Amino acid sequence: MNLASEWITRGVSKLRSPEPVQSPAEGGKPAAKVLPVRSTHERLKATLRRGAEALAPRVLRRLMEDLQAASAEQVSEVEGGRRAKDVMDWYATAPAGERQDLWLLVCEQFGPDAERLQRARQHYDEADSELERGQAEIALRRALSSARTRLLQRFAVPAGGMRFLLDLRAELLALPKSDKRFAALDAELEHLFSTWFDVAFLELQRLSWDSPASLLEKLIQYEAVHDIRSWTDLKNRLDSDRRCYGFFHPRLPGEPLIFVEVALVDDLSDSITPLLDESAATADISRASTAIFYSISNTQAGLRGVSFGDSLIKHVAQTLSAEFPKLRTFATLSPIPGFRTWLAKNGTPLLARMADKPRGELARALGIAPKLPLDAAVLLEAAEKAAQLPQNSPVRRALLWCAAHYLGKESHNGRPLDPVARFHLGNGARVERLNWAGDPSAKGARQSFGLMVNYLYDLKKIDKHRGLLAQGRIPVSRDIESLIKG
């Protein structure tokens, strides 16, 4: 009897979760019990769920079988897509924790064969000739191809599959950056999307007041730069002197991936107010010489890192040139969303580099003794009344000087700091002109004290500007150069 009892006791103990690891006590408080995190390899072999694990091992194994069935090499794309649809249906009602268990399975169970990859890499490293290296490269590419790629491709087969994958990646990107558990899945999706959403597969469409209401509602929903306040506001943006274009993918009908709003005018715009004025008279487009891109909005969070904004601008510029031969200038009227935050952190050392004369004038305007260092906090406080500052105000001139430095000089790893500048300069534009009180809205004041900027797209110099940026030199106009020099 004693031997039987001991045998039962040992058997039951194997089914129980192991004792939790106690973390060191802090401040005299009892030590917290922390369960070690198990990989999906361990959980698939287990019997009982442990700690905060969402799916029990039995359910995790069943989900694993469903994923394997969807990705099986021997089944057709259609059959694989049908099986993937069953998983999508489960996913639609699964809570966040169970969804993350699926992500973990895809990351940890469907990656490349490590041993095969190591052999292929060694073969490539040891290749002695170009012929051998070419053959080794083919083997290496095949070794890098994984069941994960095939599984994700199967998810894209059924109706709604592309939408499913985009939303899945959007969920991944919403996680804290410190959470690296799903990095492989994110990288795989980004790679696939860069192919599936290549500009060669996208269609440029004009959006007008005659477009379907469901599509117009998408414009209101996704507008990210200047909120569309009403249907009247939207109608104004689609009037005869305006144009709106979007890129569409055949697997996402009626869903713009990115869209741009354009005003046809006779000069560079220096303020967003007249462009959004619903009561303003319609411009004579026969005299238009300038196309102002005043809002560009990405609509799919899951496509972060997949760039087609530059292609959109080029396509729109070509389309507009064909329709309006008098157009000569293509430029933006853009916000400067990172300026205020940057100035608060970096303004004090920047102000220390200001030339003696403007520095003395600014010090007097701020009520600071000329020999004392200028504190950015004092400048920021004075800038709260930016809209009321006269043209010759030293505070106004200082803000313009700082903004010119921010846009024309500040970068990180060769890329402009400001996200909007990064987008347009990366697409081959140059920083053309700063506009005081360009955006008097509360959002504009909060981001950049109301400052806006024109980025100029000189279609003949786009490659040159990109080349300068690649060398770490931000392309700017003479006006911006003069501002920087003070």
Q: Please state, in angstroms and rounded to a whole number, the distance separating the CA atoms of residues 197 and 308.
A: 8
CA distances (Å), 463 to each of 306, 371, 459, 468, in order?
20, 46, 9, 9
H or E element, residue 58: helix 57-71
Task: Please report the DSSP string for 246-299 in residue order.
Answer: EEE-TTSTT--SEEEEEEEESS----SHHHH-TTSPPP-GGG--EEEEEEEEE-
Quick count: other Cβ atoms within 10 Å of Cβ 138? Answer: 12
Residue 415's DSSP bridge partners are 412
Continuous segment of H or E residues that includes residue 206: strand 203-206
**Measuring CA to CA, which residue among 321, 267, 323, 264 is closest to residue 293?**
264
Which positions are annotated as active-site residues? 334, 424
**CA–CA dist 289, 267 (Å, integer):** 7
Q: What is the DSSP letter of 17?
A: P
Residue 11's CB: how many other CB atoms inside 10 A? 9
CB 417 within 8 A of CB 411: yes
